[in-house]
């Protein structure tokens, strides 16, 4: 019954979009080629599998809530990830943090981690056709307790984290070589101050030198790629963040790296979407972490809102969606964790679909001709178009639950799996 109704509604939607110059069949051939790098840390509240720093995030991070069923082991986390992936149309990636290695219950410090600690993840990813990305873990550790890592004025602290960064890149290259796909290594540090610093430039000079040490070894781009993620402020670093957006943007441009835009890392009234067209003029590739800040960088679950739609619209309009690596970065322990993954991931994919369904050529023609009313009215018309019918048809053809069925899927997994932990 559902299948016949979905196909009927899609047929109507296809005709309506055709009237405004959009071929939905072409759109649905493009959409499966857009992967998301889904973050592992939503599944266990950024806990990881170390014995160091357990129960305390620190570094400007906080997971709120205590919904039952949190993943406690690698096997539980992997089970939850497989469930989430089964609810998403398309083929997607997994973003790991270094603290999520397979340490077999041993205490392995951050400057001693080895490629072998991630071989079981590579094998798991190969089995499930999931490619892996990597993040350095510069928080939840005694050597991050002072608020500084790569920019610390304590040379021993700084060297510890430099070695961690070096090993992260080595592991990323190992992963990329094994999986036959570049592993994206994202670097973010929590360094900053709660109140006004006296030596802004001094900390940034140390960070620059530390990064140069980390990036001293070149790896083949088909194995790994580096990207740097800035931030405006964090908990405990309200007045000053060493690794600001401007710092990383300029460093990356000079050193041939990528930059990461995290949609929660800017001022609440600042447009992340507006930055994309500029960066793509000067960078071959960029990464975008899609999160949802509510009054601050609170890492709320992504929903289909103006922010997510505007970001994906600009990426699609650029004509270079293949040069933009899309990742997720949120964690909410107050709701079902697999549900949070699913809602956030599907919201981004819906935003991509909406952007692909835009008659971009018509909008540009109106704009070029100075007909701004037509540009406005076409944009308004799109808001009432039957996008949901196209989305449901896409889910149907990719053999994943329709939007109306997601809730029952999550509830059933909650009752049969996560609630029994």
191, 226, 262, 392: which one is catalytic?
Answer: 262
133, 191, 226, 229: which one is catalytic?
Answer: 229
Q: For this structure, is 163 an active site residue? A: no
Q: For this structure, is 231 an active site residue? A: yes
d(CA 419, CA 96): 25
Q: For this structure, is 325 an active site residue? A: no
Q: For this structure, is 405 an active site residue? A: no
Measured torsion, CA atoms of residues 199, 201, 205, 207, in degrees rounded to the nearest 10: 70
Measured torsion, CA atoms of residues 136, 142, 144, 145, in degrees rounded to the nearest 10: 150
124, 188, 341, 391: which one is catalytic?
Answer: 188
CB atoms under 10 Å from CB of 381, counted, come to: 13
Q: For this structure, is 262 an active site residue? A: yes
Q: Which two tokens stand for residue 138?
A: 């510069």
Q: For this structure, is 191 an active site residue? A: no
| Alpha-carbon separation of residue 129 from 38, 90, 144, 186, 371 (angstroms) | 14, 11, 35, 21, 47
CB 1 within 8 A of CB 396: no
Measured torsion, CA atoms of residues 233, 235, 236, 242, in degrees rounded to the nearest 10: -30
d(CA 325, CA 135): 14
Q: Which two tokens stand for residue 166?
A: 């070096």
Rounded to a whole number of angstroms, the CA Rg of the chain reads 22
d(CA 391, CA 406): 13
39, 174, 225, 265: which one is catalytic?
Answer: 265
Q: For this structure, is 229 an active site residue? A: yes
44, 50, 80, 299: which one is catalytic?
Answer: 299
d(CA 233, CA 199): 17
Q: Which two tokens stand for residue 139?
A: 């928080």
45, 80, 297, 358: which one is catalytic?
Answer: 297
DSSP letter at 150 equals T
Q: For this structure, is 365 an active site residue? A: no
d(CA 172, CA 225): 8
Q: For this structure, is 155 an active site residue? A: no
Q: Which two tokens stand for residue 30?
A: 């493009």
419 CB burial (10 A radius; 0-12, 13-18, 19+): exposed
DSSP states of 319-366:
T-GGGEEEEE----TTS-HHHHHHHHHHHHHHHHHHHHTS-HHHHHHH
257, 275, 289, 350: which one is catalytic?
Answer: 289
**CA angle (160 as vertex; 159, 164 as ends), nearest 5:** 110
> So which residues are the catalytic ones?
188, 229, 231, 262, 265, 289, 297, 299, 329
């Amino acid at each position: 019954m559902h299948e016949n109704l979905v196909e009927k509604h899609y047929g109507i939607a296809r005709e309506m979009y055709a009237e405004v110059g959009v071929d939905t069949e072409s759109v649905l051939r493009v959409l499966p080629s857009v992967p998301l790098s889904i973050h592992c840390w939503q599944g266990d509240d950024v806990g990881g599998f170390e014995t160091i720093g357990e129960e305390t995030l620190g570094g400007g991070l906080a997971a709120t809530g205590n919904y039952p069923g949190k993943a406690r082991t690698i096997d539980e986390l992997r089970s939850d990830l497989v469930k989430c992936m089964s609810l998403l149309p398309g083929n997607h990636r997994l973003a790991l943090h270094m603290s999520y290695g397979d340490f077999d219950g041993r205490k392995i410090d951050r400057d001693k981690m080895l490629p072998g600690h991630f071989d079981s993840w590579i094998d798991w990813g190969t089995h499930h056709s999931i490619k892996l990305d990597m993040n350095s873990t510069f928080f939840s550790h005694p050597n991050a307790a002072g608020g500084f890592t790569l920019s610390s004025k304590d040379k021993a602290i700084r060297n510890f984290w430099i070695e961690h960064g070096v090993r992260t890149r080595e592991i990323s290259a190992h992963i990329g070589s094994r999986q036959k796909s570049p592993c994206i290594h994202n670097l973010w540090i929590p360094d900053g101050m709660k109140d006004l610093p006296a030596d802004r430039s001094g900390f940034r000079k140390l960070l620059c030198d530390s990064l140069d040490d980390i990036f001293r070894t070149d790896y083949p781009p088909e194995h790994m790629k580096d990207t740097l993620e800035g931030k405006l402020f964090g908990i405990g670093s309200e007045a000053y963040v060493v690794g600001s957006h401007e710092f990383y943007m300029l460093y990356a441009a000079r050193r041939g790296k990528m930059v990461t835009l995290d949609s929660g890392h800017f001022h609440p009234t600042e447009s992340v979407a507006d930055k994309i067209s500029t960066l793509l003029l000067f960078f071959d590739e960029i990464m975008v972490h899609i999160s949802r800040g509510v009054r601050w960088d609170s890492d709320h679950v992504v929903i289909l809102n103006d922010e997510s739609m505007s970001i994906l619209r600009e990426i699609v309009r650029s004509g270079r969606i293949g040069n933009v690596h899309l990742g997720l970065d949120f964690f909410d322990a107050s709701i079902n964790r697999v549900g949070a993954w699913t809602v956030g991931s599907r919201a981004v994919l819906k935003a991509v679909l909406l952007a692909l369904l835009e008659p971009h050529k018509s909008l540009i023609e109106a704009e070029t001709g100075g007909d701004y009313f037509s540009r406005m009215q076409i944009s308004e018309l799109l808001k009432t178009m039957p996008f949901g019918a196209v989305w449901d048809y896409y889910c149907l053809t990719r053999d994943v639950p329709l939007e109306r069925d997601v809730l029952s899927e999550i509830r059933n997994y909650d009752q049969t799996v996560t609630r029994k932990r």
